[in-house]
A and B are shown apart, each in its own frame.
Chain A
Amino acid sequence: MFKSIAKKFLELVLFFLILSFVSFCLLKLVPGDPVRSILRVDDVAVSNQQIMDMRSQLGLDQSLPVQYGKWLIQLLQFDFGQSYLTHRPVFTEFMEKLPYTLLLTGGSLFIMLLIALPLGTMAALYRNRWIDRASRVFALIGSSIPSFWLGLLFIEWFAVKLRILPSMGEGTAFHLVLPSLTLGLAMAAVYVRMIRASLIESSGQDFIKAAQARGISPIRIFFRHMLRHSLVPLITVFSESIGSLLGGTVVIEVLFAYPGLGKWIVDAIAARDYPIIQGYTVFMAAFIVCINILVELSYRWVNPEIALKEKRLS
């Protein structure tokens, strides 16, 4: 176990270096200039000479390897730099946004599980019955509806008409309900069919048939064997969903005025705020890698056969 984690850590460092270099290069190759945003050319009379001076002051006229080297040295000292626009440390801004995004991610996943797990399970257990057909309709509608429209619909119902939930902002658990519901429903639509397919696949396995032959109760078979076996592919997709939720909820964040990481990074990209973009890339890479490590560890728990196989191989 320790060896495996150490190996993962080394992979992580290597992955960081490659990722940060590639993203740094790509960022600089994309047309755009942060200096125009910094100097607010749309608000203050600025000459082209002042733009060039500022570019030089920020070191943006230096070669790419030099710029990357400076950034990396800074990073090794745990200095992620400062935002060009707010002049605040990137790390501070990231840590301010992170809890909101984690809450939204958690809330969405909770809603997703709340809907997808029972519905997917019942669709698998009662194949071609009304519940299966209902789950298919739900999946079709849920994955077709644009999330911003669904969000607006929820605001209209719950905030404008029923007046039971706030339409925007953050601060209480109630503020989290509508954005989580919007994101969670869209995700549940996808997961319902996946859970169904995975359970159906598991139910045909020999060990299930053997368990049934041994007279083990259906409930025990379902929870101890079938569900556990189905979880392996689901956890993989689940981990990918967490990754996309952490960074890709910008539409929902805008709609519900929710101050998460998605809007933060989109604004930074629009303003070419390089320190934020680069810092975000590193943070998110670390998150995704950590999630992947956790997922891999969870495989061993869910399916001990995987750990046994590794042991045999070593």
Chain B
Amino acid sequence: MFKLSYFKLFIPTVMAVMMAACASSPSASPSPSAAPQDKSVTLLFNVQSPSIDPHSDVNYTAVRAGVSETLIKVNKDLKLEAWLAEKWDSKDGQHWTFNIRPGVNFHSGKAVNAAAVKASLERALKLNPSVKNALHIRDIHADGQILTITTDKPFPEFVSELVHPNTAIIDTTTTGDLPSGTGPFKIASFRAGSELNLDRNEQYWNGKVKLKHAKFMFNEDANARQLAFQAKTADIVYRPPIESLELLKADSTVKVDSLPSLRTHQLIYNMNNNDLKKTAVRKAFDNLINRDEIASGIMSGQGTPAQGPFLSDFPFSPKYITKQFDLNAAREGFKQAGYTVQNGKVANPDGKPLHLTLLTYQSRAELPLISQLIQANAKELGITIDIRQVDNIDEYLAAHQDWDLATYSSITVPRGDASYFLNAAYMPEGALNYGRVHVPELTGMISQLNTTVNEEERNKLALKAVTLIDQENLQSFLVHPNNVVAYRDYVHNWVTSQSEYYLLTQDLDVN
């Protein structure tokens, strides 16, 4: 009916348009493999940030990108260090005096004094209920460079809470959407969920900033991050996919940094379960956990077997006897707890086999695999474990009691102090006490910790509490997943911060 010649035109037309659309432009072309000419670095982070307001942003981008700073920081040894506060003091843990560092200016040019810090903290308290709960501030008073804060109760961990990036100090008198901080980088532009462009702060209080520009980009897909790094869209990539690490390590122009994070994967026992409420049973069950297999197999070597909630180099971590996967020890443990063992299989004192429900969730891909490993090991002893996957583990654990075991993961020492995890996970009213742990002796220790000011004393008390948690096996701690960062060899002075709070720093450089 129609002549073919009319429609033959379609193919070249379509191809021409598509080729035109795909044509390169200088602005779109990624940079060559050499170091950026004007000393700039692009960091690709794994979580999208919808906001750059340091007081409300849940991803702490302003602090991570070196835009704003807090009064106190946690250093690479995970100890508290002066930052915008030169020094601090409190005799009773309730009345605090901070000397605000002189000679510091906001990016806006305004000087940082106690009044500016007061205004910034008050804004954070007003805007962010989480900060309000964390700080327990009753009153703030400013006088020159002296800031006095009174908490509504004796609150010795107050200084460590001031490390929280949502307490970062900004100039509250500036208008507009972009915050004016004190960090080594000033914001040039911010596109929510996409990228943050930064320029060097020429008047940085702590000396010269090596990079002229920096870019902080976000991409939540690990494979896309890896490809962007390969395409040289980024110079530093945070958490590339574990399966691509060998490929990255094989590239001589790439450096890979991997070190244990402050996160701990855990197995929570529901204390309302008649079996699991017995210490001996929990201890026997702990023998079914093959931590080495989890770290080396499931985590592809990117994890460190966990003996307790905190990394072993913290002063409040006891000297643990390394926990071993041992089926015979597990059998013996159940036997000593009064359970019958026949043909290697464990049964209740009344002869019924053990049947447990284990909750897990998908957002940390290794947890369902860890659950399966525990299930398989338990089966060796005749213990049946039903695995159930839930969408939101926090909500489920908080609202339901129809489970016996649960895999969980949390950052246990976000700001260098043990009290966050001890309070949240072991106090009867703690929001993370999903296992309904109620050990009066432990509660007493944590309460005492909450009123102890002296750091050494605090560490001793925390150590006692953690030792008790270990003795009672209130939870099983599985593995500390590693933080992995890959960067090009022309990037210098990159430090993988265990706290993950500080990424772009004044020392970061390229050549």
- Whether A267 contacts B24 by the Cβ 8 Å rule is no
Hey, which chain B residues are within 8 Å of A169, CB to CB?
194-195, 217, 233
Is there a chain A Cβ closer than 8 Å to B303's Cβ?
no
Q: Are B28 and A164 in contact (CB under 8 A)?
A: yes
Q: A45-B430, A46-B431, A51-B431 are in contact. Are A160 and B18 (CB under 8 A)?
A: no
Residues on A with beta carbons closer than 8 Å to the beta carbon of B21: 177
A257 within 8 A of B: yes
B297 at the interface (CB under 8 A from A): no
Known: A163-B30, A254-B220. A41 touches B191 (CB 8 A): no
What sequence of 0s and 1s flags, for each residue 109-128 of chain A, a beta carbon within 8 Å of any chain B beta carbon? 00000110010011001100
Q: Does B192 contact A (CB under 8 A)?
A: yes
Evaluate whether A155 and B224 lie within 8 angstroms (CB atoms) in the complex, with A38-B129, A122-B7, A222-B2 already known.
Answer: yes
Whether a CB of chain B sits under 8 angstroms from the CB of A206 is no
* A136-157 with Cβ < 8 A to chain B: 148, 151-152, 155-156
A159 and B30 contact, CB distance less than 8 A: yes
How far does the alpha carbon of A275 sit from the alpha carbon of B429 in the complex, in Å? 29
Q: Which single residue of chain B is at the shortest CB-CB distance from A251?
A: B221
Partner of B56, one of A50, A87, A115, A148: A87
A22 within 8 A of partner (CB): no
Of chain B, the residue at the smallest CB distance from A47 is B429
B192 touches A259 (CB 8 A): yes
Q: Which residues of B contact A167 (CB under 8 A)?
A: 30, 224, 227-228, 231, 233
Complex Cα spacing A156 to B224, Å: 9
User: Is the CB of B392 closer than 8 A to any CB of chain A?
Assistant: yes
A46 touches B133 (CB 8 A): yes
Q: Any chain B CB within 8 A of the CB of A8? A: no
Any chain B CB within 8 A of the CB of A32? yes
Question: Chain B residues with Cβ under 8 A from A40's Cβ?
Answer: 58, 130
Chain B residues lying within 8 Å of A177, measured Cβ to Cβ, are 21-22
Identify which of B22, B128, B219, B431 contacts A158 (C-beta below 8 A).
B22
In the bound complex, CA of A48 to CA of B194 (Å): 35
A255: contacting residue among B25, B130, B195, B221, CB under 8 A: B221
The reply to whether the CB of B253 lies closer than 8 angstroms to some CB of chain A is: no
Instruction: Tally the A-B contacts, defined by beta carbons under 8 Å.
Output: 201
Contact segment of B47-55, B114-122, B346-354, B485-493: B47-55
Given A43-B130, A168-B233, A267-B50, the answer on whether A257 and B427 have CB atoms closer than 8 Å is no
Return the contact of A174 from the options B1, B10, B28 (Cβ within 8 A): B28
A263 within 8 Å of B (CB atoms): yes
Whether A86 pairs with B129 at a CB distance below 8 angstroms is: no
Q: In the complex the two chains form, what is the Cα distance from A39 to B221 in whole Å? A: 27
Distance in angstroms between the alpha carbons of A212 and B2 in the assembled complex: 12
Complex interface: chain A residues within 8 A of B420 (CB): 43-45
Q: Which of A90-132 contact B (CB under 8 A)?
A: 93, 96-97, 114-115, 118, 121-122, 125-126
Q: Which listed residue, A46, A87, A125, touches B424 by the CB 8 Å rule?
A: A46
Say yes or no for B17: interface residue by CB 8 A criterion: yes
Are the CB atoms of B218 and A257 closer together than 8 Å? yes
Q: Is A256 an interface residue (CB 8 A)?
A: yes
Contacts of B423 in A (CB 8 A): 45
A49, A167, A219 — which one has the most chain B CB atoms within 10 A of its CB?
A167
Q: Are A33 and B231 in contact (CB under 8 A)?
A: no
Docked pose: A232 CA to B3 CA in angstroms: 26
Q: Given contacts A46-B430, A87-B56, list 12 more A-B pairs with CB under 8 A.
A: A36-B431, A39-B133, A40-B130, A46-B133, A47-B429, A85-B56, A96-B192, A126-B4, A126-B7, A158-B22, A166-B233, A171-B195
17 interchain pairs, CB-CB under 8 A: A31-B399, A36-B395, A39-B129, A44-B420, A45-B431, A46-B431, A47-B429, A48-B429, A93-B192, A125-B1, A163-B232, A175-B28, A177-B21, A254-B219, A257-B217, A257-B219, A267-B50
Closest 9 CB pairs of A and B: A259-B193, A174-B28, A118-B10, A164-B24, A45-B423, A257-B219, A47-B429, A41-B431, A159-B231
